Structure 1
Amino acid sequence: MTLHCAWIGFGKSTTRYHLPYVLNRKDTLHVAHIYRRHQKPAEQEPQYQGIHFTSDLNDILNDPQVKLVVVCTHADSHFDYARQALEAGKNVLVEKPFTMTLAEARTLYELAARKGLIVTPYQNRRFDACFLTTKKVIESGKLGEIVEIESHFDYYRPEAPTNPGKPQDGMFFGLGVHTLDQIISLFGRPQHLSYDIRSLRNPANPDDTFEAQLFYGRLKAIVKTSHLVKIDYPKFIVHGTKGSFIRYGIDQQETSLKAGIMPGEPGFAANEAVGQLEYVNDAGETVREEVASETGDYGRVYDALYDAILHGKENYIRETDVLTNLEILERGFAQPSPATVALTK
């Protein structure tokens, strides 16, 4: 059985982070339509042959074969396009950030529930190799009770031309939406939050630097991004009552995609990073292990949606996780930073 899909938008998100994985799954997924307001020569590239490009959104909304619509436009149009697709009876996958506000997200979930449909964000970084490796170590139990996890996604890009925008255009919404989601997927909804959100390179721009601390009883999760880091931190640092784990290096899928190496091709996302695990076992002995990288695959988002839409399986991301993530992002700008806030249940 094939899941017929359509895209709204044909920018970098669609061409780099979605279509390469979908076109590598021809046995289960079919790209029926791509909507864009203006046609361009890229549509004639060999990998897009056989796809119907259109500037009429109704070609998607009125096609009874299309069961999944993917919204890959600027964030301020996500809500409207997703709402139209749901009202037309389509399941919907939305690029990050899911919506501009928590209220919009709740509205979409309520509409989807009334229609018996799925609406969900594209949290592809749940399937980063570095995160999957760290998750496997945590779930192994070798570290005991986790008391601290630190997640970094840093750059060294000191120049920042003036480009004013809204909070949704900054790094907390743009990248924090992913790194916060990884923590939420592991530990759920925190009780307290601490924020430090700043624009260090150019004060006229939205934030480029943030640190969020999420508190879960004894556990503290730290999520950080900066554009002024010349020497890499570990990607993940995890401490538990029985030991510690450190993992350097980010997932290489994006690196391969930027280089034109596609999923299924030799060398795609090649990742030789090795994590260092040290813990005390049940015999009281210190054990040191090297942990090979898990295989990252953003296409697993589509595998999960295929099973959810056509076979009724549980979606890969819970509604409560999505709403918690957006609430954390939104609350970050509700007061001057730095700040500490409490979340209600």
Structure 2
Amino acid sequence: MINIAFVGFGKSTNRYHLPYLKLRQDKFRVTRVVTPTLGKRPTEQAELEATGTIFTTDIEDIVTDDSLDLVVVVTPSQSHYQVTKQLLQAGKNVLVDKPMAASVEEAEELVKLAAEKNLFLMPFQSRRFDSDFLTVQQVIANGYLGRLTDLEVHMDHYRPLDGQLEGPAIDGSLFGHGVHLIDQVVSMFGAPQAAVYDLRATRVLESHLDDQIEVNLFYPEAFKATIQTTELATIQYPKWQLRGTKGTFIKYTVDEQENDLKTGIMPGSPRFGSDAPQNFGHLVYYNQSGDRIDKYIPSVQGDYGRIYDTVYETLVNGKPKLVSDETMITVMRLLSGGLQTTGPHILKF
């Protein structure tokens, strides 16, 4: 049994963490929660307290608790680095929400500190278990597309009134949305040879905080991965487009877990997070006989809780971490590279 403490008890903790842990009570027990305001979520707090969870406003109660096996940091992005550093210095294993830090230098410091103390450190890259991403991995692994030439992945919304005039870079779209997409691409293909950035503020023109991004990652053998997000999309664009020497795969819709969670449908419910057949990805490819095959690929079932399964396997059974130190640093280097200068620019690896 792994004893967990949470630093933070807001929307993310209650939407993206606790519902999945409820299905894993044979492996995890939430023993402590630190939150700046007690009673802000009275129903959720009372439910946990009934199982023995202790709530407090002082992080020192976690720092001094030797019974804890893992601390999960779900605080505002700007505080991730400092809170994680404090916990590592206190000898705690840490799972920290994305992005893990505001710069590659901060990330390198945290990784080094964890290594020196032989501690577990990993960002909460739950979108490794998005249904659409798992399906893309399957399509690539099955070789339908041949040698890949182009991959394009989007995270688009229509939020025209939510632009900010001021704020730290970590609150921009590159660190907020791009971190997921960059991690997905790097997890499949590793570090690129070069990255080209186009970061813009499109809703509040005077802002220095990006809300529309395009990052092109260049790899060997003429392969390019494009990551793009916008907050001004009124017409749906494909979430994924992949092209190769033998075929093309396109999927329009995103993983359904977040939509279900927002409507109160919880993990474990029938059809939770499942794609409807009309939302399956479209694959067209040529087989070894030269026949043109046109079909739809059933979506692989997503499950954000699987990130906790991997944490358990690492802490209890010594398996490698889902997100390696090398991948953490590569992702943070790519995020930091986008802020090296204003305007379109290139970063070479």
Is TM more than 0.5 here?
Answer: yes
- Residues 20 and 305 in structure 2, CA contact (< 8 A), matched pair in contact too: yes
Q: Secondary structure at the match of 2:69?
A: strand
Deviation at 1:44, TM superposition (A): 4.2
Aligned match of 1:47: 47
Check 1:325–1:231 CA distance in 2 against 1; reply closer, same or farther (3 A cut). same
Moved more, 53-62 or 273-282: 53-62
- Residues 94 and 121 in structure 1, CA contact (< 8 A), matched pair in contact too: yes
Deviation at 1:24, TM superposition (A): 2.0
Within-5 A mapping of 1:121-200: 121-160=123-162, 162-200=164-202
Within-5 A mapping of 1:274-313: 274-313=280-319
1:4 maps to amino acid: N
Aligned match of 1:207: 210
Post-superposition CA distance 1:130-160 (Å, at most 9, x none): 1110111011112111110000111122223
Aligned match of 1:340: 346
Alignment gaps of 5+ in structure 2: none
Distance 2:108 2:76 in 1: 19
Deviation at 1:163, TM superposition (A): 4.5
Check 1:300–1:134 CA distance in 2 against 1; reply closer, same or farther (3 A cut). same
1:231 matches 2:241: no
Moved more, 24-33 or 80-89: 80-89
Aligned residue-pair number = 342
Q: Secondary structure at the match of 1:96?
A: coil
TM-score by length of 1: 0.96
Aligned match of 1:20: 19
Distance 2:195 2:43 in 1: 49
Distance 1:175 1:191 in 2: 22
Identity between Structure 1 and Structure 2 (%): 41
Aligned match of 1:249: 253
Post-superposition CA distance 1:158-216 (Å, at most 9, x none): 22354411211111110000011111111100011111100111124411101100000
Distance 2:42 2:320 in 1: 35
Distance 2:230 2:106 in 1: 29
Check 1:161–1:141 CA distance in 2 against 1; reply closer, same or farther (3 A cut). closer
- Residues 245 and 278 in structure 1, CA contact (< 8 A), matched pair in contact too: yes
Q: Secondary structure at the match of 2:105?
A: helix
Q: Secondary structure at the match of 1:66?
A: coil
Deviation at 1:21, TM superposition (A): 1.0
1:216 matches 2:222: no
1:34 matches 2:40: no
Aligned match of 2:116: 114
Post-superposition CA distance 1:84-134 (Å, at most 9, x none): 222222210001111111111111111111111110101111110011101
Alignment gaps of 5+ in structure 1: none
2:246 maps to amino acid: K
Distance 1:161 1:99 in 2: 22
Distance 1:193 1:242 in 2: 26
1:27 maps to amino acid: D
Distance 1:114 1:87 in 2: 10
- Residues 103 and 335 in structure 2, CA contact (< 8 A), matched pair in contact too: no
- Residues 192 and 217 in structure 2, CA contact (< 8 A), matched pair in contact too: yes
RMSD of aligned C-alpha atoms? Answer: 1.4
Distance 2:162 2:86 in 1: 36
TM-score by length of 2: 0.95
Moved more, 13-22 or 266-275: 266-275
- Residues 164 and 204 in structure 1, CA contact (< 8 A), matched pair in contact too: no
- Residues 144 and 247 in structure 2, CA contact (< 8 A), matched pair in contact too: yes
